[in-house]
Structures are given as structure tokens and as C-alpha cells.
Amino acid sequence: MSQSNFPNWHATTILCIRKGPDVVVAGDGQVSMGDTVVKSNAMKVRRLHNDTVISGFAGATADAFTLFERLEAKLERHPGQLTRACVELAKDWRTDRYLRKLEAMMAVADDEVSLIVSGTGDVLEPEDSLIGIGSGGNYALSAARAMMDRKDMSAEDVARRAIEIAADICVYTNKNIIVEKLKSK
């Protein structure tokens, strides 16, 4: 049976926000298969490398876990060098026959940099320190941009509210939000 016979899995809104000294990665909990919600409390945000890196994924879950493991290995090989670890992961992802078939995207951050990592070999650092990926990513990103100047909102507040707004628009996003925050230095 070919993969085209399986229903499409839609599963995520991930948002990474860097505001002042704070860095957060937030994700919703919904996993959908076609037009059916399969799970509402999936954990799509993880801490890596002794809690110094946070990452969220959009895409197939098994693929994302493979990528988390590979990124963790790259971070062990290149400690304190998130960009280099991500570039090495992207090179493997692009050239390895097995990894090339993985369907996922990652938002990754440490205390210095926020990056988007994709299977096309991209490692991108956004100009405005905001990342939105997944089916509701652009909605959450737009909402976050509109709230970033508010002094009464922390990075976590902006992330939660932005994903709530995305959930009101995107049927593949819910309001069961998980937020991981890096400790400020």
C-alpha cells in the first residue's frame, strides 16, 4: 500500500519567541488524521542537551523523535555550538537516504540563537527572533509579531496568547499549550 493511500496527518503549531532575556518554545497538543482529532495532548516540545536547548517539531512524530536523537548526538559532539550542530544535522538529513524521507521541521533555540531546521537542508535564523512552524505556525507567528512590543507581556505570555489565536483560526491547532522556557542567565 502506498503512502498516498493513508490520510494526511496534520499536527502542530510550534512557536519560538526570544524577548528580552527570555526564550520560549511553545506548542499545541493536537494531532489530527484527516478531519479527525486523534490526540489532544501530544508533547511536541522537548528539552535537549542537559536543558540548555529547547526544540519543537512539526511533522510525523516518529520522524521528529529520530531528529531529536540525531540533534542530541550532534550537540554532544559540538557542545555549546547549536548552529554548528544544526548545520551538521541538516547536512545528514539532506544526504542520508533514510533521513531524507523524514517529514518534519524543527524550531530550535538556546540562550544565543533561534533556528529553523528542515529536511531541505535549511538552517535559518530569523531576523526578528520569532519562529512559527506547522499548520498553524503562520497564524501564531503573525499574532506574536503583533504582541511583541507589549511591555506587559512576557515571552511566555506572548507565546500562549499567539497559539490561542492560531487555535481560533487553524482547525489543526488546539489550546492545550505546552511551553518550555530557558532560564535567563
What 8-state DSSP symbol labels residue 46? Answer: E
Alpha carbons 48 and 52: distance in angstroms, whole number: 6
Residues that are catalytic: 12
Helix (H) or strand (E) holding 157: helix 155-169
Which neighbouring-strand residues pair with 54? Answer: 47, 109
Which neighbouring-strand residues pair with 36? Answer: 33
Which stretches within 117-183 are classed as H helix? Answer: 137-147, 155-169
Burial class (CB in 10 A: 0-12, 13-18, 19+), 69: exposed
